[in-house]
Amino acid sequence: MENKQVDVIIIGAGPGGLAAAYQLANTKSVLVIENDLWGGTCPNRGCDPKKMLYSVVHTKQQAADLASVGLQSDSKIDWESMMAFKTSYTEKVPSGTLDGLKSTKILTEHGQAKFIDQDTIMVNETNYQAKKIIIATGLHPVTPEIPGSEYIHTSTDFLSMPHLPEKIAFLGGGFVGIELANIAAESGAEVHLIQHNHQILKAYPEELTEQLVDSMTKHGVNFHFDTEISSIQEKADGNYELTGNNDFNLEVDEVFTSMGRQPELDSLNLEIPGVTFDKRGIQVNAFMETANSNVYAIGDVANKSIPKLTPVASFEGAYVADRILSQSDEPIDYPAIPQVVYSSLQLARTGVTPQEAHDNPDMYVVKTAKAGSWYTFNRIQDSNAVIVTVLDKKNNTIVGATVLSKIADEIINYLTFEINQRADKQAVDKQILAYPTPASDLTYYL
């Protein structure tokens, strides 16, 4: 057994771990340990491959919406070519990430990391000791504990499926279920989305999630609300029979879990450094320190009521690196965080929610714009566009926004920027922005 010493060990080479590693690498000796794909979830089996498939699907959906205004097209998705396009990107991610780390003189180990002492990690028969250790091991999909659970696939399997099955079920209508159901249905599969209660995407206002359900239904997704699957049986023809409450019964070619993700903590031996955790992740304080102040947890694996997203993981990685370099004595301070669900319509939100605003009428005003007939949205036949803004009564600046539109991703970024800049109408009106664009509407939101 070899023993080595470094300044900082980072477990997990996803967006969180990598952001910390690069920021530390100039002045510290850094070891990054990864047990699977270099780059982590987002570029290998999350955001990036998903959005490549979505780009193709979304263009088809936009073309169909413009049919009534002169666009004649009969677009069809060829799953195999679309997957090849995705793979042309993802196949280069692990080696590209590893090359990047090596060229920055960051030490790397491929293998399962585990604590064997408060400050020592064992990987591949080597013990590495460090003053500071950062855990950035992310999440993995939850699978229900029901008979037949071994037949259930995950989002990772979906994003590398060589062929599109004819009939698919997704268990759970959160981010993953909604986004993948849209891709599968638009690509030609019969899609069933099973949600155990009455609302998909519970963090969003119900009026808007209902509109998204209407839109997705028109695009071929079959929703089954208040339905919980209790068993899955393999049939003689290789199909799967799903059985649930209220006599629910459905036969499909493939079934995917999309009912949430849980922290990746297996075999880390967290009791050795005294790091505490629960089913929502590793407990951290306002400095991202765990119960052992020399061990940090960042990104998806940290138990925080902050959206679990790539830019959040990178933000936390950079923050912890700053702290280790003694550049920051301040608790982590998040700006407004935008979240977007990419489906037949995009549903996005940032900052103060309409619900929080309704609960605090002395502080906030809520403005709802049914914007389908505005020039920007009419031009792209986005007749369902809704923009809900929350304004701070004191200074009339935007502090929150929720957007349902085909271009909600773009609009929410502008609004997030306005929120973080605390821009009032005067500040926005001082800008000259290209016209006609979604940004040229910014003045109307104030």
Ligand X SMILES: NC(=O)c1ccc[n+]([C@@H]2O[C@H](COP(=O)([O-])OP(=O)(O)OC[C@H]3O[C@@H](n4cnc5c(N)ncnc54)[C@H](O)[C@@H]3O)[C@@H](O)[C@H]2O)c1
Residue 407 and residue 438 in contact, taking contact as beta carbons nearer than 8 Å:
yes
3-state DSSP: the chain helix, strand, coil percent, rounded to 5? 35, 25, 40
Part in contact with ligand X (CB under 6 A); list of ranges 217-225, 232-240, 301-309, 433-441: 301-309
By CB under 6 A, tell whether 175 contacts ligand X. yes
Q: Count the site residues for ligand FAD by CB under 6 A.
A: 34
Q: Which two tokens stand for residue 188?
A: 């030609």
By CB under 6 A, tell whether 332 contacts ligand FAD. no
Candidate list 44, 137, 215, 258; residue touching ligand X; CB under 6 A: 258
Closer of 213 and 297 to ligand FAD (Cβ): 297
Question: Whole-number minimum distance, CB 167 to ligand FAD, in Å?
Answer: 21
By CB under 6 A, tell whether 201 contacts ligand FAD. no
By CB under 6 A, tell whether 388 contacts ligand X. no
Residue 255 and residue 268 in contact, taking contact as beta carbons nearer than 8 Å:
no
Part in contact with ligand X (CB under 6 A); list of ranges 14-22, 82-90, 252-260, 289-297: 252-260
The DSSP secondary structure of 253-276, one letter per residue, reads SEEEE-S-EEE--TT--TTTTT--
By CB under 6 A, tell whether 35 contacts ligand FAD. yes
349, exposed or middle or buried, with CB in 10 Å at 0-12, 13-18, 19+? buried
| Phi and psi angles of residue 108, each rounded to the nearest 5 degrees, phi first | -135, 150
Candidate list 134, 242, 252, 259; residue touching ligand X; CB under 6 A: 259
By CB under 6 A, tell whether 385 contacts ligand X. no
The pattern of x and - marking residues 13 through 32 that bind ligand FAD according to CB under 6 A reads xxxxx---------------
Question: Whole-number minimum distance, CB 185 to ligand FAD, in Å?
Answer: 16
Closer of 9 and 200 to ligand X (Cβ): 200
Q: Which two tokens stand for residue 87?
A: 């793979």
By CB under 6 A, tell whether 416 contacts ligand FAD. no
Sheet holding 254-257, edge to edge: 152-153, 254-257, 167-171, 190-194, 221-224
Closer of 101 and 181 to ligand X (Cβ): 181
Distance CA 415, CA 191 (A): 34
Q: Which of 51, 242, 45 is nearest to 154 (CA)?
A: 45
By CB under 6 A, tell whether 47 contacts ligand FAD. yes
Give the per-residue SS3 of 72-129.
CCCCCCCHHHHHHHHHHHHCCHHHHHHHHHHHCCCEEEECCCEEEECCEEEECCEEEE
Q: Are strands 302-303 and 8-11 parallel, antiparallel or unpaired?
A: unpaired
Distance CA 137, CA 296 (A): 11
Question: Whole-number minimum distance, CB 173 to ligand X, in Å?
Answer: 5
From the list ligand FAD, ligand X, none, partner contacted by residue 100 (C-beta under 5 to 8 A by kind)? none
Q: Count the site residues for ligand X by CB under 6 A.
A: 26
39: left (phi over 0), alpha (psi -120 to 50) or beta: left
Q: Which of 305, 328, 312, 336 is nearest to 399 (CA)?
A: 336
By CB under 6 A, tell whether 299 contacts ligand FAD. yes
Closer of 7 and 36 to ligand FAD (Cβ): 36
Candidate list 173, 281, 354, 400; residue touching ligand X; CB under 6 A: 173
Chain residues that interact with ligand FAD, rule: CB under 6 A: 11-17, 33-37, 40-42, 46-47, 50, 112-113, 136-138, 155, 176, 264, 268, 299-300, 308-311, 313
Chain residues that interact with ligand X, rule: CB under 6 A: 144, 171-177, 179, 194-197, 200, 228, 258-261, 307-309, 339-342
